[in-house]
Structure 1
Amino acid sequence: MDKFRVRRAIAATAVALAAVLGAGGWAADTQHAVTGPPPGSAAWTADTTLGLRLPDPATATPAEVASFFEALTPAQRDALAVRHPLVVGNLDGAPVQLRYRANALALAEERDRELARATDPALTPQDHTAARTRAERYRTLLDGGRQILAFDPRGRGQVAEVYGDLATARRTAVVVPGSDIDLLSFDRAADPYGTPAGMAKSLHEATGRQTAVVAWAGYTTPVGVGPDAATENLARAGAGRLARLLDGLAVSTRPESPATLFCHSYGSVVCGLTRPGPAQASGVVVLGSPGMGIGSAADLDPRVPLWATARNGSDWIGNVPNVSLFGLGHGADPTAPEFGARPLPSTGSHGHTGYFAPGTASLAAYAAVALGR
């Protein structure tokens, strides 16, 4: 890059950041990514009650986990879920129905713990309020037989929910969200199509409920517009977690039809850095993308098709420069013809979070892609 282009990129970055920050403000607090095995893993690996060595959550592959559970009786599986709900509920490769049961147990335990904290005289009134909020959040996730595929209370909290039947659905999709998504905002009522739950429900319905959709808030997302959103640190941590989820789905669902990824905003950086192979994904769709952390579609596996949704005119992400400079920015625009992605329409969508809204051309296109058409 010559000096003129460098100066132009710096100027573009400064102008765009000024525009974005003037609208939303700079979030100064940085997030610390939740990584590593699930809570309770030490007790799990030390458990010898079955007379078997349990697979190490830190090193066992989802395929190895699946093989381990296949060799157990139903009673043995259930006993492990009861003793170690947070491990079994987050263990990619474990039977899906067993994970639902384990996460229900873990949510109930965490709800009771937060209710106790809400009346603990040693804590502050602010602690009591936060505990009540968390307890109510856990209660709502326990309501109505929800299919919680993952639940991790650490940090801001992570959760994944399934819409449809992973065991019988002909096709599977995974929604990967962007900034400001966590346990509390995963399925917020306001701006529903900007949440993984809202996107997943809308896609599930648009496919005639033929596709099972995973709403995945399984990584630490940036908060607001700030250093985390402008860099790849959280996306790199999330990419490892996403790859493991996909490997787990590959052994839990139809291996001949791996999941299609729908990656929104900063989530498209996570998907780009994951670089899924054909055993992990049938395709990748990006929307409202600031860039994918790659130079072009050629940086991805050519056997995994990439689609990019045309940016609607009211999507503020268009103000973000498509540069990668001094560790800031996420690179080339996936919607640019030279990037090499297959284009998808966005007619009828509005704003940064409107691409999954019913009646839009984008949702209709997403349904067709998810159904393998």
Structure 2
Amino acid sequence: MRRFRRTLVAAALATAVVAGTAGWASGTAQTPVTGPPPGTAEWRADRSLGRELPDPASASPDDVASFFASLTAGQRHALVERHPRVVGNLDGVPVALRYEANARALRAGADGRQILAYDPRGRGQLVEVHGDLDRARHVAVVVPGSDIDAGTFDRTSAMARSLYEAANGLTAVVAWAGYTTPVGVGIDAATGELAEAGAERLVRLTQGLAAAGAPKPALFCHSYGSVVCGLAAHGADASDIVAFGSPGMRADSVADLRTDARVWAAKAPSDWISKVPNVEFAGLGHGNDPAAPEFGARYVPAGDAEGHTGYFAPGTASLRTFAAIARGEAR
């Protein structure tokens, strides 16, 4: 009974801290964007090739990749012209075609950037690639936390760019704002609904990378993004999973993640996330601290990282270690 009371008090404290940490405003409830991409109805009705197109709601990335491999160059580009929103968001489509489709969907908004996905629904979702994904020997994916959407995407893209440059161009880095994130630090950030929906999308991303012939990715999971990665761990075929500034991964230990990936964790001494109690009770909180020794993750030094968002700052020990992980050189 005493232990139960302590847990209840800790859960209440977690809620209070989540609502007021660092002066952030309480977030508004978000509805996750799920399901196939915009334009799917028109895609399903298209018989221009004399056969059905793969259903975005049910076809696996491998099925999609096989379908596109069977087409002529002219047929592929015709699909890009007719259905840019589907082609640009469909995992398994060749990377270059997705860039072309999203440039068309965004028109001048792409500005030569390699946009792997663009979904305008809700607050908007974007996925951008730094480097040559088709030829890279290693791939990394940056998974962001709260307050990231199409309007604030450049925060995540900047993290990915920093990692790409630190890895000396040997690794393609994907900035993945491909799920509905919490707004502010409120009840959405303290619960797992958005993370569960995001985990499904992250697993499909990794399947799409594999279908495109890319190496297993290393996932770099910031803040609430580490909750997404924790829930995706058993289904995502990743080489490494790195949690930093994490409120928890909805797991008691590395073993609970049910993954063959190497799991790493970092937490800066000045990161306000340390003020959030690591509990999970009645759906609130995200469990044990991945940076605690008992969790069993590999240690990433972060003593010189500043605050909650300083882990990718040039010259920091955390960025150097992240780059070594991304290159497949860290042990």
For this structure pair, what is the TM-score category when the shorter chain's length is used for normalisation? over 0.9
Give the whole-Å Cα distance in 1 for the aligned partners of 2:303 and 2:151: 31
Corresponding residue for 2:299? 343
Query: Aligned runs of 1:58-97 on 2, under 5 Å?
Result: 58-97=57-96
Q: Does 1:12 align with 2:29?
A: no
Shift of 1:26: 4.7
SS across alignment from 1:92: coil
- Aligned residue type for 2:303: T
Corresponding residue for 2:180? 220
Structure 1 alignment gaps of length 5 or more: 109-138, 188-194
Shift of 1:160: 0.2
Among residues 182, 195, 203, which one is paired with 1:235 in the alignment? 195
Among residues 212, 223, 228, which one is paired with 1:265 in the alignment? 223
Q: Does 1:31 align with 2:65?
A: no
Among residues 184, 189, 204, which one is paired with 1:244 in the alignment? 204
Please report the TM-score for the alignment, with normalisation by the length of structure 2. 0.96
Structure 2 alignment gaps of length 5 or more: none
SS across alignment from 2:76: helix
8 Å contact kept, 1:62–1:248: yes
Give the whole-Å Cα distance in 1 for the aligned partners of 2:224 and 2:28: 17
Residue by residue, what CA displacement relative to the aligned partner does 1:57-79 show, whole Å, maximum 9, x if unpaired? 00000000000000000110000
Alignment RMSD, CA only?
1.3
Corresponding residue for 2:110? 142
Give the whole-Å Cα distance in 2 for the aligned partners of 1:25 and 1:14: 18
Give the whole-Å Cα distance in 1 for the aligned partners of 2:128 and 2:73: 23
Give the whole-Å Cα distance in 1 for the aligned partners of 2:134 and 2:24: 44
- Aligned residue type for 1:242: L
SS across alignment from 1:260: strand
Task: State the structure with more CA Rg.
Answer: 1
Shift of 1:359: 0.4
Moved more, 8-17 or 204-213: 8-17
8 Å contact kept, 2:239–2:262: yes
Among residues 317, 324, 330, which one is paired with 1:361 in the alignment? 317
SS across alignment from 1:212: strand
Give the whole-Å Cα distance in 1 for the aligned partners of 2:296 and 2:31: 34
Corresponding residue for 2:134? 167
Corresponding residue for 2:147? 180
8 Å contact kept, 1:277–1:303: no
SS across alignment from 1:281: coil
8 Å contact kept, 2:94–2:212: yes
8 Å contact kept, 2:228–2:249: yes
Across the two proteins, how many residue pairs are aligned to each other? 328
Shift of 1:169: 0.8
8 Å contact kept, 1:13–1:320: no
8 Å contact kept, 1:207–1:370: yes
Are the structure 2 counterparts of residues 19 and 32 from structure 1 closer, same or farther at C-alpha, using a change threshold of 3 Å?
closer
- Aligned residue type for 2:146: S
SS across alignment from 2:117: strand
Give the whole-Å Cα distance in 1 for the aligned partners of 2:105 and 2:8: 48
8 Å contact kept, 1:291–1:322: yes
- Aligned residue type for 2:142: V
Moved more, 176-185 or 297-306: 297-306
Residue by residue, what CA displacement relative to the aligned partner does 1:217-269 show, whole Å, maximum 9, x if unpaired? 00000000111000000000000000000000011133xx3100000000000
SS across alignment from 2:4: helix
Give the whole-Å Cα distance in 1 for the aligned partners of 2:265 and 2:273: 14
Residue by residue, what CA displacement relative to the aligned partner does 1:167-218 show, whole Å, maximum 9, x if unpaired? 111100000000000000000xxxxxxx220110000000101100000000
8 Å contact kept, 1:276–1:304: no
Residue by residue, what CA displacement relative to the aligned partner does 1:128-164 show, whole Å, maximum 9, x if unpaired? xxxxxxxxxxx4x422x10000000000000000000
Shift of 1:294: 1.4
- Aligned residue type for 1:183: A
Q: Does 1:312 align with 2:280?
A: no
- Aligned residue type for 1:4: R
8 Å contact kept, 2:102–2:110: no
